[in-house]
Every structure is written in C-alpha cells, then in structure tokens.
Amino acid sequence: MHRDDLRLAICVGLAAGFGSISTVPDGYYLPLTVAAVMVGSYGGSYALGLQRVICTLLGGLLLLIAQPAFTGLPFPIGLALMLGLIRFLGGCLGLEAGYKITGMVVVMGWLMQSTAVDGWLGLKLSWTALGVVLALLALHLFWPSTAIREHQKAYGALLELQREALLEQQRLLVQSAGARLSPARRKERHRELMRALIQSRATRSAAVLELGANPYAQPQMHLWTDLERCCAAIAGCITALRALREPLVAVPGFRGLHQAEAHLLADAAALLGVWQDALKKNRPALSADSTSQDLQASIEHLRSVERDLLKQPDLPQVLDPFQQRQLARRLLLCYQIGAVVQRMQLRWQELIVTNRDPSPAPP
C-alpha cells in the first residue's frame, strides 16, 4: 500500500464517521466528495474540487430554472432536453469534469417532490463544499503531496537520464572502440528519454495552479519554461550524438580533440547534477558558488584544440569526407550542449539566486 492510498483511506474513513454522527441529513455526501476529489496532488485536487462545486451549482440552477419549462413535456423528452442543455452549458463554460455530478443533481432533483428540492440542494452543495475543503486541507497538512514537488521531481528524473547519457558519451570519447551502444539499446534509451520529457510536461498544469492567480509573476514559472526548452535541446543533441559512428580514439592526432570533448561533456553533466539537487527543494535556488566557469574553460580549451588541429596541412589526407563530416558533427553537438547548459545556468541564477524581475525591461 502506498502512502497516498493510506492517506485516502484514513481521510475517507474520518469523513464517513463525521457524516454519520452529524445531525445534518445526507452526511454520506461528505466521504463521497473526499474520495472523488482527493486524488493526485494538491493542484490537481484543487482543480477537480472546484469543478465539482461548479457543476453542483450548475445542476441546482438548471433544476430550479429550467425544470418548470419542461414539466409539460413527457418525462423522457424533458429529461433528455435537460441533459443536452447541461452538455451545452458545460462546453460553453469550459468544464472538463463533473458532467456526471450535474446530471445526477438534475435527475435526483427531478424525481423528488418539488417541496423537498430546495432543502436537498442546499445540503448537497454544503456537504460538497465541505468535502472539497477537507480534502485540500488533508493534502496540504497530512503527508503533503504538492504538484510543484511532483513537477520538479519529474524534471529531476529527466535530468538524471540526460546526465547519464552525457557521461556515456564522455566514456565513449576516452575509451577504445567497441563502447558504442547497439541500435536496439540506443532506441530503448531514446524512448526512456522521450517518456521522461513527456512526463515533465504532463505535470505542468497542476503545478501552475499552485503558483497562484498570476503564475507568470512567479520566477519558478519562467524557470520551468526555460528548463523545458533546455532539456528538449539537450535531448536532441544526445540523440544526434548516439547516431554518430565511434570516435577516432585510436588515431593519435585526434585523441586530444576527443579528450577535450569528453571534458566538456563531463562538465555539462556536473551542472545537470547541481540542477537536480536544486530541484529537490520547493524553491529551487542554486548555491552562490555554483557557476559555469569550468564549462566555459572546457569550451575554450576545445576551441583551442580544434584550431591547432585545423592548422595541420595533412588533415584532408588523414580523413575521408565521411569521417570529416562525422568529426565536424560531433564538434558542433558538443558546442551546442555546452552553450545550452551555460545559458540555462545563467538564466537560473538570474531568476532564483538574484531574484531579479523575470519580465523583460521596457525599451
């Protein structure tokens, strides 16, 4: 049994006990609401609970206003028109969940006596609102499960896969031939990377709800957006690196170049590890001594080694055109990874460390 299941069982049991001992009728609506709303994280439960309350209100309003207009029609026709009206209004209001609740309110109220509908609607709405409040309090106070934490945890898992992939390429550049992954293994690793990227995007909507009414005024919102772009760019570079042939490690003239590339990838992977540690906190602030100076030094060293290699007059005779394209492609991808990681490091420090305003300055 997971922690979330145990928390749900305890909260539903307490809600059922409170509803049964209460002198207010229809107390069974309280545990039903808690069980329906208390799923996932705080942000997702908040959105689901808000939709449930809105749909209960919508069902009550339709029952009180539209039902008298349909009483002269046969029961099946009148009820069908009412349900169609529910679907139309729900689509206009942009409701994504709760149509069953609206329909249940309408059907149950239609079958009750008109004198009892007003009191039942008030009780139903009160118990529903109380259940939503209790579910949100439980998620916030009892083994907290927040969407922000889950969202940043998903990014941490994605960064771990990318860090392992960069270290894998780094080992390939310093070892002898034969360390390259098989095509089936490369395809499997690519799918793992894509699933992690999709998972990080899927948890965004619930996390945005927890940032408040104006999420774009929060630095974390801009951080997530920039981090998503950075991870997508790194994923593309990793896939392209894996598709290249084995590096020319055995050729003495290119060993220094591949070692410089390996240092660059290792420094980029080290920064990804720093980001992982920062994302474990609710406010992912980087430490003051976390900089990209080592990565910048690796980039400059690789450029120096590249310039020295291009000065060799016999370079075209050593490599055939295909090998030259492979060598240039690997160099370009290493530079791209270094630049992307470096820009993200500076952006992260700008948003979280210095607490500067993320909005652009006016012209």
Give me the pLDDT at residue 230, please: 95
Q: What are the pLDDT digits (tens) for 82-135?
A: 777 777 777 777 666 656 677 777 777 766 655 566 677 778 888 888 888 888
Most confident of 22-36, 194-208, 264-278, 314-328: 264-278
Check whether 198 has a pLDDT greater than 80: yes
Q: If you average pLDDT over residues 206-225, what whole number do you get? A: 82
Give me the pLDDT at residue 351, please: 87
**Band of residue 354 on the pLDDT scale cut at 50, 70, 90:** very low
- Average per-residue pLDDT in the chain? 81
Residue 296 in tokens: 């910048």
Contact 35, 12 (CB under 8 A): yes
**Band of residue 194 on the pLDDT scale cut at 50, 70, 90:** very high
Give me the pLDDT at residue 355, please: 43
Q: If you average pLDDT over residues 138-146, what whole number do you get? A: 74
Give me the pLDDT at residue 315, please: 65
Q: How far is CA 204 from the centre of its chain?
A: 4
Q: If you average pLDDT over residues 137-159, what whole number do you get? A: 84
Give me the pLDDT at residue 178, please: 53
Contact 124, 26 (CB under 8 A): yes
Give me the pLDDT at residue 1, please: 57
57 exposed, middle or buried (CB, 10 Å; 0-12, 13-18, 19+)? middle
Give me the pLDDT at residue 343, please: 94
- Taking the C-alpha atoms of residue 63 and residue 108, their distance in angstroms, rounded to an integer, is 10
Query: Helix/strand/coil (H, E, C) string of the chain?
Result: CCHHHHHHHHHHHHHHHHHHHCCCCCCCHHHHHHHHHCCCCHHHHHHHHHHHHHHHHHHHHHHHHCHHHHCCCCHHHHHHHHHHHHHHHHHHHCCCCCHHHHHHHHHHHHHCCHHHHHHHHHHHHHHHHHHHHHHHHHHHHCCCCCHHHHHHHHHHHHHHHHHHHHHHHHHHHHCCCCCCCCHHHHHHHHHHHHHHHHHHHHCHHHHHHHCCCCHHHCHHHHHHHHHHHHHHHHHHHHHHHHHCCCCCCCCHHHHHHHHHHHHHHHHHHHHHHHHHHHHCCCCCCCCCCCCCHHHHHHHHHHHHHHHHHHCCCCHHHHCCHHHHHHHHHHHHHHHHHHHHHHHHHHHHHHHHHCCCCCCCCCC
pTM: 0.67
Check whether 301 has a pLDDT greater than 80: yes
Check whether 237 has a pLDDT greater than 80: yes
Q: If you average pLDDT over residues 343-351, what whole number do you get? A: 91
Give me the pLDDT at residue 298, please: 93
Q: What are the pLDDT digits (tens) for 32-74?
A: 888 888 876 676 777 778 888 888 887 777 777 766 766 667 7
Most confident of 85-89, 137-141, 145-149, 216-220: 216-220
Check whether 361 has a pLDDT greater than 60: no
Give me the pLDDT at residue 358, please: 42
Give me the pLDDT at residue 23, please: 81
Give me the pLDDT at residue 348, please: 92
Q: What percent of the chain has pLDDT over 90?
A: 26
- Radius of gyration of the CA atoms of the chain, in A: 29
- Taking the C-alpha atoms of residue 330 and residue 325, their distance in angstroms, rounded to an integer, is 9
**Band of residue 360 on the pLDDT scale cut at 50, 70, 90:** very low
Q: What are the pLDDT digits (tens) for 151-186?
A: 899 999 999 999 999 999 998 888 755 566 778 888
Which one has a higher pLDDT value, 96 or 230? 230
Please tell us whether the domain made up of 147-353 is placed in CATH 2.30.29.
no
Check whether 363 has a pLDDT greater than 50: no
Most confident of 53-62, 204-213, 302-311, 331-340: 331-340
Check whether 359 has a pLDDT greater than 70: no
Give me the pLDDT at residue 127, please: 83
